[in-house]
A and B are shown apart, each in its own frame.
Chain A
Amino acid sequence: MTPFTTLTGIAAPMPLVNIDTDMIIPKQFLKTIARTGLGRNLFDEMRYTSDGAEIPGFVLNQPAYRSAQIIVAGDNFGCGSSREHAPWALLDFGIRCVISTSFADIFYNNCFKNGILPVVLPEDQVAALMEDARRGANARMAVDLEAQTVTASDGTTFHFQIDPFRKHCLMNGLDDIGLSLEKVASIDAFEARAATLRPWV
């Protein structure tokens, strides 16, 4: 996993609430057995007509946002299906950070496994960043994970909260399976104890 430390990039505004993972990557693209190559179909049905032509009004098709690395989104981003194809598609497109007032639980977890930083901020601050993002390529936001800040193009800085363990893993690009396997003795001990307490399991 690519570590996440700092990021300065263009932010695309997506004020719609409840953007679900079916919107982020529709099911027909879940038939892959790879993790890569999904960026072309990110937001497919909002982004292309049924014959594959780009829909000019969609934010990521606009010249200012084609190389966006940040999305500022409405409430409850990533709700619905658990498909990790959603963060895979975001990452493959080049999105490394999503900012919203709230995220669905599974999507939020999935981001951390893929080097994407989900930032939760209060409504007024997301609204301010949304306004900033609307200014297009002139609005380059800066995200600093170490300092836990997002800085808008006018220099206004917002501080965000993040779980320290997740921050540590994300900043160092750690493979958490490797970390958990370091606790194999605890897992062995748990299994031995459970075999006595709940042998039917």
Chain B
Amino acid sequence: MTSAKTLYDKIWDAHVVHQADDGTCLLYIDRHLVHEVTSPQAFEGLRMTGRKVRAPERTIAVPDHNVPTTAGRDTHIDNAESRIQVEALDRNARDFGVHYYPVSDIRQGIVHIVGPEQGWTLPGMTVVCGDSHTATHGAFGALAHGIGTSEVEHVLATQTLIQRKAKNMKVEITGSLRPGVTAKDITLSVIGATGTAGGTGHVIEYCGQAIRELSMEGRMTVCNMAIEGGARAGLIAPDEKTFAYVMGRPHAPKGAAWEAALAWWKTLYTDEGAQFDKVVTLRGEDIAPVVTWGTSPEDVLPITGVVPDPESFTGGKVDAVRRSLDYMGLTPGQKLSEIAIDTVFIGSCTNGRIEDLRAAAAILKGKKKKDGLRAMVVPGSGLVRAQAEEEGLAQIFIDAGFEWRLAGCSMCLAMNPDQLSPGERCAATSNRNFEGRQGRGGRTHLLSPAMAAAAAVTGRLTDVREMM
């Protein structure tokens, strides 16, 4: 069965420009997404060497990491360093002639939300960005992964990347999810099962009934966190839902081009009998709403669980968990559902899409956040924000006492003014609970948008199923 290929094999093979005898490949890149934090040194490198951007028409830039999420940001950014980075992107986009969505454009947002929204991301493509959450685009059956700044410069100059092929890993979620369980619970549960290095050296293909039953938004949430499982990329084979999502987007093919594209896209699946180097299977019915308790995304348990004992781990993880619990201010045996929180953050490239806001609003409708708690919704793009306003979701959040912000990465990585204070405990729909991630000393619990909404109402980590 050597001719049977995985989805990853097919996309890889379609993009090999050159293969050296030792297996090192030059891989063609169809879409290059660029943001303000990891690109200035790359553009500067081009200037210093007198090189050009080889394919500006395949390069899309948008500021997202640094931008404030409050009004007035299109005319002035207070933080001088942030302003310089955003201005550098303005200048670089103009000088090198790449597609650009400035802060003043309603289409601006988190790069991984803008790409799919504008139809830049299409099945079978190779997509890279100087950002680890580029894995998001894998939801379309695109081979998408994060790169460093030197590689950003390499792609700008050559439209290729030097790569060695990764191994194939299959993650199958059988059956259906139970009520109250979402894509975020799938992706966190997979990381809980495999560990943050479980996917290292692999590209994961997510499959199975529970994955097929997810919306495109949900699939993006699953693939987004492939990187937290250590994988280079996550992939989901495109299907009718994918095609329906893509159709009519500004940069999606139209007419005869659409038909030709569709014919190829329909061949993008893993052949019967194709070999995977690693296989992980979870039953959809077994997945519960989960929260993280530690400082690694693998530190995850069902909300019905208790904070674990460091001694129940082995090897280097014993000390790591001890350190985590000290940092998080938690005690072994403490019920997760009794952990009181100070702040709720709904947003990020993991959970800042319209479906995420709908899920949170469905829980919040007619309710108020707990007194004294800080709660914030940061839509993933200006268009998500506008749609949420049109659907009445914004009003539900505002009535519940949430701040309704402008689009950006915001408190997911806290490069802009949206940060936690030392000891402040946050229920966050983002992707990383690392020490200091959301602000020095800040304590992050990762969860789904519905779970975040439930926590906002009660002021503690809460099983959303009790509120449905």
**A contacts, CB < 8 Å to B:** 15-18, 20, 22-23, 26-28, 30-35, 45, 50, 74-76, 79-84, 87, 102-106, 109-110, 113-114, 163-165, 176-177, 179-181, 183-184, 186-187, 190-191, 194, 197-201
The residues of A that contact B147 with a CB separation of less than 8 Å are 82, 106, 109
**Contact status B434-A23, CB under 8 Å:** yes
The residues of B that contact A28 with a CB separation of less than 8 Å are 415
The residues of A that contact B371 with a CB separation of less than 8 Å are none
Which one, B148, B153, B231, B434, contacts A80 given CB within 8 A? Answer: B434
**Contact status B415-A18, CB under 8 Å:** no
A84 and B260 contact, Cβ closer than 8 Å, known pairs A164-B22, A176-B162, A180-B160: no
Which one, B40, B153, B230, B261, contacts A200 given CB within 8 A? Answer: B261
Which one, A22, A31, A76, A109, contacts B432 given CB within 8 A? Answer: A22
Interface residues of chain B: helix, strand, loop or mixed (majority): loop
The residues of B that contact A197 with a CB separation of less than 8 Å are 14
Judged by a CB distance under 8 angstroms, whether B414 is at the interface is yes
Judged by a CB distance under 8 angstroms, whether B176 is at the interface is no
20 CB < 8 A contacts A-B: A17-B320, A20-B296, A20-B434, A22-B434, A82-B38, A82-B132, A82-B146, A83-B148, A104-B200, A105-B232, A106-B147, A109-B151, A113-B150, A165-B162, A176-B154, A177-B153, A180-B162, A186-B18, A187-B26, A200-B261
Assembled-state Cα–Cα distance A20/B51 (Å): 33
**Contact status B148-A27, CB under 8 Å:** no
A187 and B160 contact, Cβ closer than 8 Å, known pairs A75-B316, A80-B432: yes
The residues of B that contact A200 with a CB separation of less than 8 Å are 122, 253, 257-258, 260-261
Interface residues of B in 397-419 (CB under 8 A from A): 413-415
Q: Please tell me the size bucket of the interface on B.
A: 35 or more
Q: Which B residue's beta carbon lies closest to that of A200?
A: B253
**Contact status A163-B17, CB under 8 Å:** no
**B contacts, CB < 8 Å to A:** 14, 17-18, 20, 22, 24, 26, 28, 30, 37-38, 40-41, 44, 49, 51, 54, 65-66, 79, 81-82, 84-85, 88, 122, 124-125, 130-132, 145-151, 153-154, 157-160, 162, 164, 166, 196-197, 200-201, 227, 230-232, 253, 257-258, 260-261, 264, 296, 298, 315-317, 319-320, 323, 413-415, 422, 432, 434-437, 440-441
Distance between A84 CB and nearest chain B CB, rounded to angstroms: 4
Q: Sort A-B residue pairs by CB-CB distance and give the 8 closest, nearest first.
A: A113-B150, A200-B253, A31-B81, A110-B148, A84-B148, A33-B40, A82-B146, A17-B316
Q: Which of A17, A18, A35, A50 has the most chain B CB atoms inside 10 A of its CB?
A: A18
Which one, A23, A190, A201, contacts B17 given CB within 8 A? Answer: A190
Distance between B439 CB and nearest chain A CB, rounded to angstroms: 9
Distance between A121 CB and nearest chain B CB, rounded to angstroms: 15
Q: Which A residue's beta carbon lies closest to that of B299?
A: A18
Which one, A26, A34, A165, contacts B24 given CB within 8 A? Answer: A165
**Contact status A33-B88, CB under 8 Å:** yes
The residues of B that contact A187 with a CB separation of less than 8 Å are 17, 26, 28, 54, 158-160
The residues of A that contact B145 with a CB separation of less than 8 Å are 106
Assembled-state Cα–Cα distance A33/B325 (Å): 36
A180 and B413 contact, Cβ closer than 8 Å, known pairs A17-B317, A22-B434, A45-B435: no
**Contact status A199-B435, CB under 8 Å:** no
The residues of A that contact B81 with a CB separation of less than 8 Å are 31-32
**Contact status B41-A33, CB under 8 Å:** yes
Assembled-state Cα–Cα distance A30/B137 (Å): 24
The residues of B that contact A177 with a CB separation of less than 8 Å are 49, 51, 153-154, 157-158
Assembled-state Cα–Cα distance A39/B261 (Å): 48
The residues of A that contact B41 with a CB separation of less than 8 Å are 33-35, 84
The residues of A that contact B26 with a CB separation of less than 8 Å are 180, 183, 186-187
**Contact status B413-A106, CB under 8 Å:** no
Known: A180-B158, A201-B122. 9 other contacts (CB 8 A): A18-B196, A18-B320, A22-B432, A45-B435, A74-B320, A105-B230, A106-B147, A165-B20, A191-B159
The residues of A that contact B130 with a CB separation of less than 8 Å are 82, 84
Distance between A168 CB and nearest chain B CB, rounded to angstroms: 10
Which one, A16, A80, A191, A198, contacts B264 given CB within 8 A? Answer: A198
A105 and B201 contact, Cβ closer than 8 Å, known pairs A35-B41, A200-B253: yes
A199 and B260 contact, Cβ closer than 8 Å, known pairs A181-B157, A187-B160: yes
Distance between B278 CB and nearest chain A CB, rounded to angstroms: 15
Distance between A34 CB and nearest chain B CB, rounded to angstroms: 7
